Amino acid sequence: MLSGAPGISGGAPSLTEIIRLSVSPLLLLSEQSVLPVFIRIFLFRYIDRSSMSVFPSPMTVADVVVEAKEVAYQGFFRMEKLTLRHKRFNGEWMGPFTRELFERGQAVCVLLFDPKKDAVVLLEQFRVGALEDERSPWLIELVAGMVEEGETPEDVALRESEEEAGTVPTRLIPVCNYWVSPGGTSEKVAIFCGLIDSEGMGGLHGLDDEHEDIRAFVVPFDDAYRGVVDGTINNAATIMALQWLKINHASVTA
């Protein structure tokens, strides 16, 4: 019996517990950028991190019952009204109650990075959600797009890089995958760092049938990161990607 071992309460450890205890140190090293990039990519893509978390949850989707679902609005986006109940942490059940859900789906963002020139390619475009922004509703952003049926996030990263910036990354490094605002929307964002040659890049891009008007521009990484520090860059995905590159800069440029 392994008494006192983290995550093992007594008796013979399960296979999941053994794997978690073995791989968790590697995941920690990966997050600290100690391991080579190709090993980090393998760990993030093929290892189920949820079973190895230091924050294991007793709750799963099996503890939620959706009793009714209706479309409250359908336009370019969809709003759903759900009636549901779920288990409490004390074992009792809560509900039924209603929640409105902005059904958005899986998005992909790409930080285009030229390691030879130590420069990134960023985009500027109008965003209706930023109409009240104190600076401008034209935001500095990453390449971005939505995953369509039959596509992988990597497919979208390559497609959108070509459509919005006129380039195709030679390599994609996964950065993170996060829920945007799970209290009210289903949107989840996968961020990649795409390695490119930025020579000759820049200009205007976007699809007319999607009413896109996108300015792509090349900027030294240090200048881009300064935009995070001074607040000029103020959207989550771009901030997270540039902070990731700041932390992992040495290994990505090696």
Q: Is the pLDDT of residue 2 over 50?
A: no
Cβ atoms of residues 223 and 121 within 8 Å: no
Domain count, the chain: 3
| Residue 210 is among the residues annotated as catalytic for this protein | yes
The pLDDT score that the predictor gives to residue 69 is 97
Using one digit for the tens of pLDDT, what is the confidence trace for 35-60?
A: 555 555 555 555 555 555 677 778 89
Q: Is residue 70 part of an annotated ligand binding site?
A: no
- Same-domain check for residues 201 and 235: yes
Looking at every residue in the chain, the average pLDDT score rounds to 86
> If you search the block for the tokens 């600290």, which residue do you land on?
32
Claim: this prediction has a pTM higher than 0.95: no
Q: How confident is the model at residue 186 (pLDDT cuts 50, 70, 90)?
A: very high
- Same-domain check for residues 44 and 75: no
Separation between Cα atoms, residue 171 and residue 65, nearest integer Å: 41
Q: Is residue 212 part of an annotated ligand binding site?
A: yes
- 92, 149, 199, 210: the catalytic one is 210
- Same-domain check for residues 168 and 127: yes
Q: Is residue 107 part of an annotated ligand binding site?
A: no
- Same-domain check for residues 115 and 224: yes
Domain hosting residue 67, numbered range: 61-103
Q: Where are the alpha helices (DSSP H) in the chain?
A: 15-31, 37-46, 153-165, 221-230, 236-253
The pLDDT score that the predictor gives to residue 56 is 77
Using one digit for the tens of pLDDT, what is the confidence trace for 128-174?
A: 999 999 999 999 999 999 999 999 999 999 999 999 999 999 999 99
- Same-domain check for residues 79 and 191: no
The mean pLDDT value for 208-233 works out to 95
